[in-house]
Structures are given as C-alpha cells and as structure tokens.
Structure 1
C-alpha cells in the first residue's frame, strides 16, 4: 500500500481530490491534505511563507513518512510538494517514491506583479483567468470575504519562495499539464525535467483545472507512469 499525498492549489481544499478516493485501485491510498484556513481548518491561520508551512506538513504527515508514499501537488501544491522534497533531501529524511507536479512552473515563481499584494478587484480579475467559467467567487460572492485572506497567504507562500541552487532529487518527477491552460503552457512544464533522476510528462485536454474535468483519466495515466518509473506492480485493468 502506498499513500498518494495530495496538496491543493491556492485557496483550495480537499474536494478536488475526492473523486480519486473512490477511483484509486488496490495498493493506493489517496490522502488529500487540508491546509490551515479552509474546510475543517477554517479557524486556523493560513501560512504566508514556505518555511512554517513545511514545518507544519512535516508534523502533519508524520504517519505517511513511515509508509511508501508519493507526493502530488496541483498548481501551488506542486511547488509546495517540491519544496518539501528539497527539505527532506537536505536533512537526509525519507523521500517519496516519486514527485508529481501538476499545472505549475518550477520555482522561483516570476510574475510581473505579486498577486498577493494586489487590491481585491484586480486580484479577483486575475483569478478569473485561472478558471473563467467556474470562479466560485462569482457564483458565491459571500465566499470572497471568507477566503480572500487564505488566497493572499497561499499566493505569498509561492511568490516569496526561492529554492536557490538545488541538487537534483534522487527520485522520478512526473509533470501533468492541461493543453488549454492559459497560465502554464505545456512547454513550461518541461522545466521540471532537471528536477529528478527521471522525468515523464503527460498532457490532458482542459485548462488549468483539467484535473477536475477528467479525474479518472488523470489518475489512471498518472498511476501507469508511477508504476513504470518506480517499478511498482501495475494496477489491474
């Protein structure tokens, strides 16, 4: 049994990973992580810098470190997952069998403006570009006041993180991207090829949230790739 530890996008919770908990085959336990400031942790203060977030994850995921595991992160979650691998490598701790990064460029994040410093109106406009037809704050405006501080904190985590000069991880890295993603082009994901000891890249129809649009197809292809790169038995079917 392997744990698939899933880290969410900025402002996101565990719901995007719920289909996987039902679709995962034998031998894979899907473990979505609820970060402070959302869902069941809505009363907790979100982290606005990478280091304290990694401290929290080290403790929160202690049980998974004792078992075979894979780290998966979508958008912000991919950068956090990578930073967590770097830290554990530097301290000689157990690493995941593979790192899966989805819809995110390798850090440091370079933007013309830092989104976590924008005014509310401009921030919402930029967020709309991530998911034009499904921005929750357009459908449920009351969510904005609740989640704006969480979004700003999450964006600050990735926009202030700089890994500096780093060594290649001694594990495979798998990149996933949406062919119609307006923010992270498939070619940008090729930058992850230098991050690990092996690399695989899979492209899916869809935008920045292609994972939400076709969860079963993404999980199936990712699982196949994990088996090929880590030598684990292929799932049935």
Structure 2
C-alpha cells in the first residue's frame, strides 16, 4: 500500500498532521503521566500535558487502533492526559504479529504500563478494551503497583455473562469480507478500508486476531477488581444488552454504577457533552454506586 510505512495509520487515520501519529512522549518531570522509561510501542500520547493532575489510560475496541481516540484525547480538559494503548498488528506496530489472546494482550500492556505510572490512573476500555482494561487492572492490583482508581467499561458486557455476538460462528476460513463486516457493522473502522484491497490485507490479520482473542476469552464468575467500575452503555447497541453491561457489578469488590446513553455501539462519536462530562468526572473522582447484577 502506498504510504503505509509513512503514515503508520492504515486502519484508523484520525491524526491531523502529515506524520499522522505523533511520536510517543515519555517525559521525566513529576507532573506527567509517563515516567522516564525507555519508549514502548504499546503506549501513545497524542497530547502531552506536563501539568496534568490526572491520567486516563484508554484501551481500544476490537479492530481498533490508538489513533481512533485522537479526537477524544484532544477534547479532554487540561488537567487530564490520555495515554492510548496500541495493540500489535496495526499502525506503528503494523508488521508485528497480532496477539493470540486477551491474556497475551493484558500481559503486554501490564509490562509496558507498570513502570510508567507515577500515580493511580483511570482506565477507559471500549468494547474489547473493557476486558483488556479489566485484566490489566487485575495484574496491577496483584503486583501492588499504581493500580487504577476506577475502570470505565464502555459498550462492554461483563466478563462472565457476555454473549459475544461479534464472534458468534467465527471460523478461520471465514471470507475476508465477512470478517470485516463484523467490525464495520459496529462503526469502529472507516469505510475506506473496504475499497482498498492492499489496505484490507494489511489490517485483516489484526481484526482476525482480535476476534479470535474475544471468542476464546473465559473468566471465572468470581474474578474481580478492587476498584469501582463505571459502566457506559448505549440504549441502541445491538451487541451489548443492558443486562450484560450491568452485570459488571459482580466483577468488583467496590461499587458499580451504570450510565445509559442514546445511540449505538459507538455512541460517543463526536464526543457528546454528556459523555465527556461523565468520563472526566470518573477520571477525577471515584464514586460509590449501586450494583446492578
């Protein structure tokens, strides 16, 4: 594909500058979210904020990549800096082998993130990202490091009750068009991918890898994090019923609260004011809530 090695954004081109994806920023001063560790391809920081008081770590959806969240990063208030996780097999990691499981992804994120968090962050995981964020939080809590003070699970069914319609009937021999349709039907991948055969061949391995990881993911009913869980779910999401989203309360030893938005699986497109306000409030504060199981 022409320009693929230059842009690093083959599947979600949301970066406005010529290079598309700003270089990872790892600053040593005490007011930052990322400490002076060796650069890692796992973490992108599109809008460095040296004076930010809060850190938000964002975990993308299946088939998604870090640059999809560029606009959300730009919309955050000055006191919140976003770090976006970049899974292997896309953008600046295009030629890496996609991860084979949720556990493998969580292990990689944990190793990259743990030495780079001088304070307790907030986690925002959308769709598959909710499960990755959950598993990374469990690992950080077990290690006694700077674990998240809240997990925002967005458009994500609770781990032990999920009926994954996205991966239902998935087979390795499923045609490329059918695999792409699963992701594009939710709205998280741009339409231009379908019309570019070279681009399609570049992004499909990551999409297939994500769907396999989701299909194979299993967790015990008693698996839980110690931080509160805030659930964001849309009333018109065909993939995540309200009951499955509300069941996140069973996976925290703290509290869980649920916020219902109008829209579909990508209800936060355009960063509506209600979504931004609730997300930033969750980043700044941990609230007690009512468990919905």
Q: Is there any run of 5+ residues in structure 1 with no aligned partner, and where? A: 232-237
Structure 1: distance between partners of 2:115 and 2:142: 20
Residue 179 of structure 1 pairs with residue 231 of structure 2:
no
The correspondence for 2:201, drawn from 122, 125, 145, is: 145
Residue 76 of structure 1 pairs with residue 128 of structure 2:
yes
Q: Comparing 219-228 with 3-12, which one deviates more in the overlay?
A: 219-228
The correspondence of residues 5-24 of structure 1 with structure 2, limited to 5 A, is: 5-24=57-76
The correspondence of residues 121-160 of structure 1 with structure 2, limited to 5 A, is: 121-131=177-187, 135-160=191-216
Residue 105 of structure 1 pairs with residue 157 of structure 2:
yes
Q: Offset of 1:45 from its aligned partner?
A: 1.3
Structure 2: distance between partners of 1:230 and 1:133: 33
The equivalent residue for 1:201 is: 258
Count of matched residue positions in the alignment of Structure 1 and Structure 2: 231
Residue 117 of structure 1 pairs with residue 179 of structure 2:
no
Q: Comparing 2-11 with 216-225, which one deviates more in the overlay?
A: 216-225
Contact 1:6 1:30 in 2 (8 A): yes
Q: What is the root-mean-square deviation in Å for CA atoms of aligned residues?
A: 2.6
Give the 3 Å change call, closer, same or farther, for CA 118–211 of structure 1 in structure 2: farther
Contact 1:72 1:101 in 2 (8 A): yes
Per-residue CA deviations over 1:86-126 (Å, capped at 9, x if unaligned) read: 23334444320100111111124444734363512432343
The equivalent residue for 1:223 is: 280
Give the 3 Å change call, closer, same or farther, for CA 163–87 of structure 1 in structure 2: farther
Contact 1:88 1:94 in 2 (8 A): yes
The equivalent residue for 1:62 is: 114
Q: Comparing 162-171 with 131-140, which one deviates more in the overlay?
A: 131-140
Detail structure 1 runs of 4+ shifted over 6 Å in the superposition: none
Give the 3 Å change call, closer, same or farther, for CA 84–22 of structure 1 in structure 2: same
Structure 2: distance between partners of 1:228 and 1:115: 39
The correspondence of residues 39-54 of structure 1 with structure 2, limited to 5 A, is: 39-54=91-106
Q: Offset of 1:190 from its aligned partner?
A: 0.6
Q: Offset of 1:28 from its aligned partner?
A: 1.1
Structure 1: distance between partners of 2:210 and 2:231: 21
SS in 2 for 1:106: coil
Residue 86 of structure 1 pairs with residue 146 of structure 2:
no
Give the 3 Å change call, closer, same or farther, for CA 182–20 of structure 1 in structure 2: same
Structure 2: distance between partners of 1:133 and 1:76: 14
Give me the TM-score of the superposition, normalised by structure 2. Answer: 0.70
Higher relative contact order (CA 8 A, sep 6+): 1
Per-residue CA deviations over 1:174-205 (Å, capped at 9, x if unaligned) read: 11112221211233211112222111222222
Give me the TM-score of the superposition, normalised by structure 1. Answer: 0.85
Q: Which structure: larger Rg?
A: 2
Q: Is there any run of 5+ residues in structure 2 with no aligned partner, and where? A: 1-52, 289-293
Give the 3 Å change call, closer, same or farther, for CA 99–204 of structure 1 in structure 2: same
Q: Comparing 171-180 with 49-58, which one deviates more in the overlay?
A: 49-58
SS in 1 for 2:224: coil
Per-residue CA deviations over 1:197-220 (Å, capped at 9, x if unaligned) read: 111222222211112243554222
